[in-house]
Amino acid sequence: MIIKPDILSKLSSLELRAKKIVEGFISGLHRSPYHGFSVEFAEHRPYNPGDDFKHIDWKAYGKKERFYVKQYEEETNLRCYVLLDTSSSMQFKHFGEWSKLRYGTHFAASLLYMMHRQRDACGLIPFNSKIDNFIPAKGTYAHLRQIYIELEKELAREEQENQEKRVTASSKVIHEVAERLNHRSLVIIITDLFENVDQHEALVSALKHLRHRKHEVLLFNVLEKRSERELAFSDNRFVFEDMETGTEIEVLPAQVREDYQKKVEEYTHRFMMACSEFEIDFEEIDTEGQFDQALLAYLNKRKRLG
Protein backbone atom coordinates (compact mmCIF):
# COMPACT_ATOMS: atom_id res chain seq x y z
CA MET A 1 0.00 0.00 0.00
CA ILE A 2 1.53 3.30 -1.14
CA ILE A 3 0.97 6.25 1.18
CA LYS A 4 1.82 9.58 -0.43
CA PRO A 5 3.66 12.33 1.47
CA ASP A 6 0.72 14.76 1.25
CA ILE A 7 -1.56 12.21 2.91
CA LEU A 8 1.00 11.35 5.59
CA SER A 9 1.47 15.04 6.37
CA LYS A 10 -2.20 15.31 7.34
CA LEU A 11 -1.82 12.76 10.14
CA SER A 12 -1.52 14.41 13.51
CA SER A 13 1.64 12.87 14.95
CA LEU A 14 4.93 11.49 13.72
CA GLU A 15 4.27 8.27 15.62
CA LEU A 16 1.01 7.72 13.74
CA ARG A 17 2.73 8.44 10.42
CA ALA A 18 5.48 5.93 11.26
CA LYS A 19 2.86 3.32 12.12
CA LYS A 20 1.08 3.86 8.80
CA ILE A 21 4.35 3.62 6.85
CA VAL A 22 5.27 0.32 8.53
CA GLU A 23 1.78 -1.15 8.20
CA GLY A 24 1.72 -0.22 4.50
CA PHE A 25 5.13 -1.79 4.01
CA ILE A 26 4.19 -5.06 5.72
CA SER A 27 0.91 -5.23 3.78
CA GLY A 28 2.86 -4.74 0.54
CA LEU A 29 5.31 -7.53 1.36
CA HIS A 30 2.56 -10.12 1.08
CA ARG A 31 1.74 -9.02 -2.47
CA SER A 32 5.32 -8.73 -3.69
CA PRO A 33 8.25 -10.95 -4.77
CA TYR A 34 9.13 -11.01 -1.07
CA HIS A 35 5.93 -12.90 -0.26
CA GLY A 36 7.81 -15.48 1.76
CA PHE A 37 9.68 -12.96 3.89
CA SER A 38 8.77 -13.42 7.55
CA VAL A 39 7.87 -10.24 9.39
CA GLU A 40 7.02 -11.28 12.93
CA PHE A 41 6.93 -8.91 15.84
CA ALA A 42 7.64 -11.08 18.86
CA GLU A 43 5.17 -10.95 21.72
CA HIS A 44 6.63 -14.18 23.16
CA ARG A 45 9.89 -16.05 23.24
CA PRO A 46 10.50 -19.79 23.63
CA TYR A 47 10.68 -21.10 27.20
CA ASN A 48 14.22 -21.64 28.48
CA PRO A 49 15.16 -23.82 31.47
CA GLY A 50 15.17 -21.62 34.55
CA ASP A 51 12.38 -19.28 33.38
CA ASP A 52 9.66 -18.67 35.95
CA PHE A 53 6.59 -20.81 35.16
CA LYS A 54 4.27 -17.97 36.13
CA HIS A 55 5.26 -16.15 32.91
CA ILE A 56 4.29 -19.02 30.60
CA ASP A 57 1.49 -18.16 28.17
CA TRP A 58 -0.88 -21.12 28.53
CA LYS A 59 -3.10 -19.94 25.67
CA ALA A 60 -0.11 -20.14 23.33
CA TYR A 61 0.67 -23.61 24.71
CA GLY A 62 -2.90 -24.71 24.00
CA LYS A 63 -2.56 -23.65 20.36
CA LYS A 64 0.97 -24.89 19.63
CA GLU A 65 1.67 -27.42 22.40
CA ARG A 66 4.95 -25.67 23.11
CA PHE A 67 5.96 -23.47 26.03
CA TYR A 68 6.28 -19.72 25.38
CA VAL A 69 7.12 -17.02 27.86
CA LYS A 70 5.36 -13.66 27.69
CA GLN A 71 7.85 -11.01 26.73
CA TYR A 72 7.69 -7.69 28.50
CA GLU A 73 8.79 -4.22 27.41
CA GLU A 74 11.93 -4.25 29.50
CA GLU A 75 13.11 -7.47 27.83
CA THR A 76 15.08 -6.53 24.73
CA ASN A 77 16.85 -8.52 22.04
CA LEU A 78 19.27 -6.02 20.53
CA ARG A 79 20.45 -2.47 21.10
CA CYS A 80 19.86 -0.24 18.08
CA TYR A 81 20.95 3.38 17.60
CA VAL A 82 19.75 5.67 14.82
CA LEU A 83 22.18 8.47 13.91
CA LEU A 84 20.25 11.16 12.04
CA ASP A 85 22.07 13.89 10.09
CA THR A 86 20.39 17.25 10.86
CA SER A 87 22.80 19.51 8.96
CA SER A 88 21.56 22.32 6.71
CA SER A 89 22.18 20.33 3.51
CA MET A 90 19.53 17.84 4.64
CA GLN A 91 16.90 20.54 4.13
CA PHE A 92 17.42 20.43 0.36
CA LYS A 93 14.58 19.56 -2.01
CA HIS A 94 13.86 20.47 -5.62
CA PHE A 95 11.75 17.86 -7.40
CA GLY A 96 10.47 16.04 -4.32
CA GLU A 97 7.63 16.94 -1.95
CA TRP A 98 9.80 16.39 1.13
CA SER A 99 13.29 17.58 1.99
CA LYS A 100 15.96 15.02 2.77
CA LEU A 101 15.59 15.87 6.47
CA ARG A 102 11.81 15.38 6.48
CA TYR A 103 12.14 12.12 4.54
CA GLY A 104 15.00 10.90 6.74
CA THR A 105 13.12 11.80 9.93
CA HIS A 106 10.05 9.81 8.85
CA PHE A 107 12.27 6.90 7.85
CA ALA A 108 13.99 7.03 11.25
CA ALA A 109 10.59 7.11 12.99
CA SER A 110 9.48 4.05 11.00
CA LEU A 111 12.64 2.13 11.88
CA LEU A 112 12.20 2.97 15.55
CA TYR A 113 8.59 1.79 15.44
CA MET A 114 9.70 -1.56 13.98
CA MET A 115 12.51 -1.89 16.52
CA HIS A 116 10.15 -1.34 19.40
CA ARG A 117 7.67 -3.88 18.04
CA GLN A 118 10.50 -6.42 17.82
CA ARG A 119 11.39 -5.73 21.46
CA ASP A 120 14.73 -4.17 20.56
CA ALA A 121 16.10 -1.36 22.67
CA CYS A 122 16.32 1.76 20.52
CA GLY A 123 18.17 5.05 20.89
CA LEU A 124 18.54 8.23 18.84
CA ILE A 125 21.57 10.44 18.10
CA PRO A 126 20.78 13.52 15.96
CA PHE A 127 23.97 15.20 14.76
CA ASN A 128 25.54 17.79 12.48
CA SER A 129 29.01 19.12 13.32
CA LYS A 130 28.45 17.69 16.81
CA ILE A 131 26.02 15.42 18.62
CA ASP A 132 22.82 17.38 19.31
CA ASN A 133 21.41 14.84 21.73
CA PHE A 134 22.35 11.36 22.87
CA ILE A 135 19.26 9.36 23.80
CA PRO A 136 20.41 5.95 25.08
CA ALA A 137 18.83 2.71 23.90
CA LYS A 138 15.91 1.44 25.96
CA GLY A 139 12.93 -0.77 25.18
CA THR A 140 9.98 0.88 26.90
CA TYR A 141 7.13 2.65 25.15
CA ALA A 142 7.65 5.75 27.31
CA HIS A 143 11.21 5.91 26.01
CA LEU A 144 10.02 5.58 22.41
CA ARG A 145 7.65 8.51 22.98
CA GLN A 146 10.60 10.59 24.20
CA ILE A 147 12.44 9.82 20.96
CA TYR A 148 9.43 10.81 18.84
CA ILE A 149 9.27 14.12 20.69
CA GLU A 150 12.91 14.75 19.75
CA LEU A 151 12.21 13.91 16.11
CA GLU A 152 9.20 16.24 16.10
CA LYS A 153 11.54 19.02 17.25
CA GLU A 154 13.74 18.43 14.20
CA LEU A 155 10.74 18.73 11.90
CA ALA A 156 9.64 21.95 13.65
CA ARG A 157 13.17 23.41 13.41
CA GLU A 158 13.11 22.94 9.64
CA GLU A 159 10.16 25.34 9.41
CA GLN A 160 11.98 28.14 11.23
CA GLU A 161 13.28 31.11 9.25
CA ASN A 162 16.78 32.62 9.46
CA GLN A 163 18.31 29.42 10.75
CA GLU A 164 21.95 29.17 11.66
CA LYS A 165 23.98 27.15 9.13
CA ARG A 166 24.62 23.65 10.41
CA VAL A 167 27.57 21.91 8.77
CA THR A 168 28.19 18.18 8.77
CA ALA A 169 31.06 16.41 10.50
CA SER A 170 30.04 12.78 10.19
CA SER A 171 33.46 11.22 10.75
CA LYS A 172 34.08 13.18 13.96
CA VAL A 173 30.65 12.29 15.33
CA ILE A 174 30.93 8.60 14.39
CA HIS A 175 34.29 8.33 16.15
CA GLU A 176 32.69 9.81 19.28
CA VAL A 177 29.74 7.43 19.08
CA ALA A 178 32.09 4.46 18.70
CA GLU A 179 33.81 5.45 21.94
CA ARG A 180 30.57 6.10 23.85
CA LEU A 181 28.75 2.86 23.04
CA ASN A 182 29.80 0.29 25.61
CA HIS A 183 27.67 -2.60 24.38
CA ARG A 184 27.54 -4.25 20.98
CA SER A 185 24.83 -2.48 18.99
CA LEU A 186 23.32 -2.09 15.55
CA VAL A 187 24.19 1.45 14.45
CA ILE A 188 22.02 2.87 11.66
CA ILE A 189 23.27 6.09 10.05
CA ILE A 190 20.92 8.28 8.00
CA THR A 191 22.84 11.00 6.15
CA ASP A 192 23.25 12.67 2.76
CA LEU A 193 27.07 12.26 2.95
CA PHE A 194 27.21 15.89 1.87
CA GLU A 195 30.60 16.86 3.23
CA ASN A 196 32.45 13.67 2.49
CA VAL A 197 33.63 13.94 -1.12
CA ASP A 198 36.90 15.39 0.19
CA GLN A 199 36.77 13.39 3.42
CA HIS A 200 36.22 9.91 2.01
CA GLU A 201 39.08 8.31 3.95
CA ALA A 202 38.11 10.05 7.20
CA LEU A 203 34.55 8.73 7.00
CA VAL A 204 35.66 5.20 6.11
CA SER A 205 38.07 5.31 9.06
CA ALA A 206 35.24 6.32 11.40
CA LEU A 207 33.00 3.52 10.12
CA LYS A 208 35.88 1.06 10.60
CA HIS A 209 36.13 2.32 14.18
CA LEU A 210 32.52 1.24 14.78
CA ARG A 211 33.24 -2.19 13.30
CA HIS A 212 36.42 -2.52 15.36
CA ARG A 213 34.28 -1.96 18.47
CA LYS A 214 32.14 -4.93 17.34
CA HIS A 215 29.11 -2.86 16.29
CA GLU A 216 27.02 -3.73 13.25
CA VAL A 217 26.61 -0.81 10.83
CA LEU A 218 23.89 0.03 8.32
CA LEU A 219 24.41 3.27 6.38
CA PHE A 220 21.54 4.93 4.50
CA ASN A 221 22.54 7.63 2.02
CA VAL A 222 19.43 9.81 1.64
CA LEU A 223 19.32 11.94 -1.51
CA GLU A 224 17.09 13.33 -4.24
CA LYS A 225 18.37 11.31 -7.19
CA ARG A 226 16.99 13.39 -10.06
CA SER A 227 18.79 16.50 -8.90
CA GLU A 228 21.80 15.17 -6.98
CA ARG A 229 22.70 12.11 -9.08
CA GLU A 230 21.35 12.94 -12.53
CA LEU A 231 21.56 16.75 -12.52
CA ALA A 232 18.22 16.59 -14.34
CA PHE A 233 17.59 20.33 -14.42
CA SER A 234 16.52 22.29 -17.48
CA ASP A 235 19.26 23.76 -19.66
CA ASN A 236 18.83 27.24 -18.23
CA ARG A 237 21.59 28.86 -16.24
CA PHE A 238 21.38 28.07 -12.50
CA VAL A 239 23.06 29.48 -9.41
CA PHE A 240 23.66 26.63 -6.95
CA GLU A 241 24.21 27.49 -3.30
CA ASP A 242 26.00 25.33 -0.75
CA MET A 243 23.37 25.10 1.99
CA GLU A 244 26.00 24.61 4.69
CA THR A 245 28.46 27.38 3.78
CA GLY A 246 26.48 29.75 1.54
CA THR A 247 29.05 29.44 -1.29
CA GLU A 248 27.49 29.98 -4.72
CA ILE A 249 28.43 28.75 -8.19
CA GLU A 250 26.82 29.52 -11.57
CA VAL A 251 26.23 26.46 -13.76
CA LEU A 252 24.78 25.48 -17.11
CA PRO A 253 23.67 21.88 -16.34
CA ALA A 254 23.95 20.72 -19.98
CA GLN A 255 27.65 21.64 -20.07
CA VAL A 256 28.66 19.69 -16.97
CA ARG A 257 26.01 16.96 -16.69
CA GLU A 258 27.92 14.08 -18.30
CA ASP A 259 31.16 14.75 -16.41
CA TYR A 260 29.24 15.33 -13.17
CA GLN A 261 27.36 12.04 -13.45
CA LYS A 262 30.57 10.15 -14.17
CA LYS A 263 32.37 11.61 -11.15
CA VAL A 264 29.42 11.00 -8.81
CA GLU A 265 29.17 7.40 -10.02
CA GLU A 266 32.91 6.85 -9.48
CA TYR A 267 32.80 8.31 -5.99
CA THR A 268 29.71 6.32 -4.99
CA HIS A 269 31.18 3.07 -6.32
CA ARG A 270 34.46 3.68 -4.46
CA PHE A 271 32.61 4.40 -1.24
CA MET A 272 30.37 1.33 -1.60
CA MET A 273 33.40 -0.90 -2.18
CA ALA A 274 35.05 0.45 0.98
CA CYS A 275 31.88 -0.26 2.96
CA SER A 276 31.65 -3.77 1.53
CA GLU A 277 35.27 -4.50 2.49
CA PHE A 278 34.49 -3.83 6.14
CA GLU A 279 31.04 -5.51 6.11
CA ILE A 280 29.15 -2.23 6.38
CA ASP A 281 25.74 -2.35 4.70
CA PHE A 282 25.19 0.61 2.36
CA GLU A 283 21.84 1.63 0.86
CA GLU A 284 20.69 4.67 -1.09
CA ILE A 285 17.27 6.20 -0.35
CA ASP A 286 15.61 8.42 -2.94
CA THR A 287 13.36 11.06 -1.37
CA GLU A 288 10.99 10.70 -4.33
CA GLY A 289 10.63 6.98 -3.70
CA GLN A 290 8.82 4.79 -1.20
CA PHE A 291 10.31 3.62 2.07
CA ASP A 292 9.84 -0.07 1.22
CA GLN A 293 13.28 -0.97 -0.13
CA ALA A 294 15.04 0.77 2.76
CA LEU A 295 12.81 -0.92 5.36
CA LEU A 296 13.46 -4.26 3.69
CA ALA A 297 17.22 -3.62 3.88
CA TYR A 298 16.83 -3.06 7.62
CA LEU A 299 14.78 -6.25 8.06
CA ASN A 300 17.34 -8.28 6.12
CA LYS A 301 20.11 -6.90 8.32
CA ARG A 302 18.08 -7.56 11.47
CA LYS A 303 17.32 -11.11 10.34
CA ARG A 304 21.02 -11.87 9.84
CA LEU A 305 21.77 -10.69 13.35
CA GLY A 306 19.22 -13.13 14.78
CA distance 200 to 208: 12
Question: Of 91, 185, 169, which Cα lies nearest the Cα of 131?
Answer: 169
Rounded Cα distance, 155 and 152, in Å:
5
User: For position 196, what pLDDT does the model report?
Assistant: 59
Q: How big is the chain, counted in residues?
A: 306
> What residues does each domain of the chain span?
5-24+77-305
Quick one: pLDDT at residue 67?
Answer: 72
SS3 135: strand
Q: Count CA atoms within 13 Å of residue 244 on its CB side.
A: 17
Task: Give the span between the Cα atoms of 137 and 30, in whole angstroms.
Answer: 31
CATH number of 5-24+77-305: 3.40.50.410
- State pTM to two decimals: 0.82
The secondary structure of 7-73 as a DSSP string is HHTTSS-HHHHHHHHHHHHHHHHTTSTTTT------SEEE--TT--GGGB-HHHHHHHSS-EEEP-T
pLDDT for 35: 40
pLDDT, residue 104, reads 96
Q: Say if residues 253 and 231 touch (Cβ distance below 8 Å).
A: yes
For the chain, 306 residues long, the average pLDDT of each consecutive 10-residue run is: 55 82 78 46 62 69 70 65 94 93 96 89 94 94 94 88 77 95 94 75 93 95 94 88 82 91 91 93 93 88 79
The partner residues of 285 in beta bridges, in order of sequence, read 222
* Three-state SS at 80: strand
Question: Helix (H, G, I), strand (E, B), or coil: what is residue 198?
Answer: coil
Rounded Cα distance between 236 and 61, Å, is: 69
Alpha-helical segments (H) within the chain: 5-8, 14-29, 58-64, 100-117, 141-158, 170-180, 200-212, 225-228, 253-277, 292-305
Residue 222, SS3 per DSSP: strand
